Structure formats: structure tokens, C-alpha cells
Amino acid sequence: MTRTQIQLPDELYQRAKAFAAQRELSLAEVTRRGLELFLDRFPSSEPSHSAWQLPRVDAGGIKVPLDSLRGIAAEDESTRSLADG
């Protein structure tokens, strides 16, 4: 086991000491458990070595040929102008 020294704000130190005393644990044990919990909760994310790819989105299965889009847009625009007029 490695020994280390850390600096804590006074309030955090007092809260940690009280927490340890209530549970009959040492401050070192509380610190170890806290670090284990923190590191398990936020695992290191190693950068992916694969090339970045544009995310794909599932559009719900409606597929319209690109050459049809202009006609669909024009038809929609004319329908809206009739409804507004």
C-alpha cells in the first residue's frame, strides 16, 4: 500500500472525520472507499483509436428519393399558400 498526504478544506475534513467516527472506520478507510466509489462511478474513458464517423440517425424508415424532394416541397408550399389565402 502507498502512503500519501492530501490537503482538505477544514469543513470537509471535519465532516469526513465525523462520518468515519459514526461508522467506526478510520479516515483512511473512508478516503479509500470514497475514491473507489468515485472511480467506479466515473471510469476513465480511453480515447478511441478508430476513425471518427458521422453519427447515423434512424429517421423512422420514411425514404424519399432526392430527385422527388423538390416537387414535394413545391406541392407543400402551394398547399400552404392556398390554406393561408
Write the DSSP assignment of 7-66 as a string of letters.
Answer: ---HHHHHHHHHHHHHTT--HHHHHHHHHHHHHHHS---PPP-SPP-PPP---TT----H
Q: Does the residue 3 lie in any domain?
A: no
Domains contained in the chain, number: 1
> 33: domain range?
10-41
Q: What is the pLDDT of residues 25-80, one digit of tens each?
A: 999 999 999 999 999 998 777 766 778 788 787 767 767 777 788 888 888 888 88
Residue 32 included in any domain: yes
At 34 the pLDDT is 95
Please check whether residue 24 lies inside any domain of the structure.
yes
22 within domain boundaries: yes
Indicate whether 69 belongs to any domain. no
